[in-house]
Amino acid sequence: MKIIRSDRLSIKSDSAAQREALADTLGLYRRLVRDLMSLAFTRWPQIGSLQGDAVVQAIEGLMHPTSRRPEVRYTYFHRRYYKFPSYLRRVAIMDAVGQVRSFQTRYRDWQDSDRRKQPPALTCSTSTFPSLYKGQCVRFSDDLKAAFIKVWHCNDWLWMSFKLSGELRYRGKGKSLSPLLVFKGKRWSLSLPEEFTPKSKVSKKPPTRVLSLDVGINTAATWAVVDAQGTVHARGFIQRSDKDCEHHLMQRIRSTASKHTRHGSRLPVGFCTRDHRRLKQLADNEAHQISRQLVNLALKHNCQAIVVEQLKGWRPTAGRKRSPMKARFHRWFHRMLVNRVHSKAVENGLRCVAVYARGTSSQAFDGSGPVRRDAKNYSLCTFSSGKRYHADLNAAYNIAARGFVYYQGGGRKSASRATQQKPDRTPRIPVTLSTLWNSQAA
């Protein structure tokens, strides 16, 4: 299985002329993509069935004149984008055709549905970024500390030198692909994708030991290492390291919102955009850090798979309107964390499976039946036998058991694939950790 990872090198634009050249290049490329999307959409009956280089040849035959083809159907492109680099033009063609193809797919899906929602629209003015062919649009120095980029400056295409800085983690591990010119915030950078095959291959045999993960609100991640006999070898809790900063930002947003709405006014467009962006960046960073810890724990304890709950599309309803709990559920990053765990697990040769989530927290892992959550401390629960236990840890045990039942149940030919699987239908009897004990006793 091929995996693509990217390194990012920051571009140090020392002068205003360099920043202006990069901005003009990106703007001209996006305008070309916009116009090519209109052309591709108009000629879609002829272009839609083509793939790869055939698409480029078909569109260039309509808009790019040559000595052998002096007359073309659309002369606007030759006049408007004179001397546009051929390699960059072909990247723009593939970019435009890909966006139109995506729109056509989404529109067909909408036609096949009940059509209750609004139909998708083709947006031609998109925030796309150009790929730079090495040797034709970009040239790197031997130490990757500088790069020459072909830019649009003073109404001409020129080679301009830029200094680079950054750390290379994946460079040299596989096949280097064409870099991407990226502009985010106020910074320019080059994204260097690397395509490689993971060193560890995914085993096709059923796992003998798994790491189960329960993503919670009070505790960011509760994990447990369980084997096929139902023995718990390790367990632990992982907390977010930015709780104070997150709480401070949420309190500031809440306080500012109460002042704006004190006299019945609505919140303006773009309210507290900076604070909301900061919260999203904190969650993204924590998802990367926690997912790395979980994958390292799975490798340390010789696990072959990571089992998570299938919570895709689930929307929490807990908490009153404008209450702190409502805000915490809104900022819950369970999908982001699961996606990061799955991505890192595939890279390290681990399988990642999502199991049915209902009943993992409400059923006792020892098979004694439903549990009762504490009203004052929601992290604790009481079993029918009177034993008190941590609710998230109890759920982690049950998630691991459902993972083993998923792999041992049979009928799943795709269970060995290194992809995130869909959950099976849960049986009538709740699957808990005691299910593994009973299967071993039988």
Q: Once rounded to an integer, what is the mean pLDDT over residues 89-94?
A: 96
Same domain (yes/no): 143, 234: no
Backbone phi and psi for residue 112, each to the nearest 5 degrees, phi listed first: -80, -10
Higher pLDDT, 287 or 409: 287
195 occurs within a structural domain: no
Same domain (yes/no): 120, 250: no
Are 171 and 157 spatial neighbours (Cβ–Cβ below 8 Å)? no
Same domain (yes/no): 136, 228: no
Q: Of the residues 131, 156, 190, which one is the last residue of a structural domain? A: 190
Same domain (yes/no): 239, 375: yes
3-class DSSP string for the chain = CCEEEEEEEEEECCCHHHHHHHHHHHHHHHHHHHHHHHHHHHCHHHHCCCCCHHHHHHHHHHHCCCCCCCCCCCCHHHHHCCCCCHHHHHHHHHHHHHHHHHHHHHHHHHHHCCCCCCCCCCCCCCCCCCECCECCCEEECCCCCEEEEEEEECCEEEEEEEEEECCCCCCCCCEECCCEEEEECCEEEEEEEEEECCCCCCCCCCCCEEEEEEECCCCCEEEEEEECCCCEEEEEEECCCCHHHHHHHHHHHHHHHHHHCCCCCCCCCCCCHHHHHHHHHHHHHHHHHHHHHHHHHHHHCCCCEEEEECCCCCCCCCCCCCCHHHHHHHCCCHHHHHHHHHHHHHHCCCEEEEECCCCCCCECCCCCCECEECCCCCCEEECCCCCEEEHHHHHHHHHHHHHHHHHHCCCCHHHHCCCCECCCCCCCCCCCHHHHHHHHHC
> CA 295 to CA 348: how far, in whole Å?
8
Kindly tell me the burial class for residue 78, based on how many C-beta atoms sit within 10 Å of its own C-beta (0-12, 13-18, 19 or more): middle
Instruction: Flag the least confident range among 113-127, 165-179, 414-428.
Output: 414-428
- Mean pLDDT score across all residues of the chain: 87
434 occurs within a structural domain: yes
Are 174 and 127 spatial neighbours (Cβ–Cβ below 8 Å)? no
Higher pLDDT, 420 or 261: 261
Q: What amino acid is encoded at 124 in this protein?
A: C
Higher pLDDT, 422 or 201: 201
pLDDT score of 261:
81
In this model, does residue 347 exceed pLDDT 80? yes
> CA 229 to CA 441: how far, in whole Å?
10
Q: How confident is the model at residue 414 (pLDDT cuts 50, 70, 90)?
A: very low
Higher pLDDT, 30 or 244: 30
Same domain (yes/no): 231, 107: no
What percent of the chain shows pLDDT beyond 70? Answer: 91
Same domain (yes/no): 253, 139: no
In this model, does residue 179 exceed pLDDT 70? yes
> CA 442 to CA 437: how far, in whole Å?
9
Same domain (yes/no): 152, 249: no
173 occurs within a structural domain: no
Same domain (yes/no): 157, 285: no
What does the block give as tokens for 269? 């467009």
pLDDT score of 416:
35
383 occurs within a structural domain: yes
In this model, does residue 372 exceed pLDDT 80? yes
pTM for the full model? 0.74
133 occurs within a structural domain: yes
Q: How confident is the model at residue 315 (pLDDT cuts 50, 70, 90)?
A: low
Nearest C-alpha neighbor of 291 from the set 309, 306, 276: 306
Same domain (yes/no): 156, 244: no
> CA 148 to CA 10: how far, in whole Å?
14
264 occurs within a structural domain: no
227 occurs within a structural domain: yes
pLDDT score of 186:
87
Q: How confident is the model at residue 412 (pLDDT cuts 50, 70, 90)?
A: very low
> CA 178 to CA 130: how far, in whole Å?
10
Same domain (yes/no): 17, 121: yes
Same domain (yes/no): 140, 289: no
Q: Of the residues 190, 225, 242, which one is the last residue of a structural domain? A: 190
Q: How confident is the model at residue 411 (pLDDT cuts 50, 70, 90)?
A: very low
pLDDT score of 321:
62
pLDDT score of 258:
84
What does the block give as tokens for 392? 């998230």
In this model, does residue 328 exceed pLDDT 70? no
Domain hosting 299: range is: 209-258+275-441
196 occurs within a structural domain: no
> CA 28 to CA 81: how far, in whole Å?
8
Q: How confident is the model at residue 424 (pLDDT cuts 50, 70, 90)?
A: very low
* Domains held by the chain: number: 2
pLDDT, one tens digit per residue, over 99-158 is 999 999 999 999 999 888 899 999 988 999 999 998 999 999 999 999 999 999 999 999
Q: Once rounded to an integer, what is the mean pLDDT over residues 199-223?
A: 85
> CA 305 to CA 294: how far, in whole Å?
11
pLDDT score of 99:
96
Same domain (yes/no): 147, 249: no
Q: How confident is the model at residue 20 (pLDDT cuts 50, 70, 90)?
A: very high
Q: Of the residues 155, 190, 225, which one is the last residue of a structural domain? A: 190
CATH assignment at residue 345: 3.30.420.140
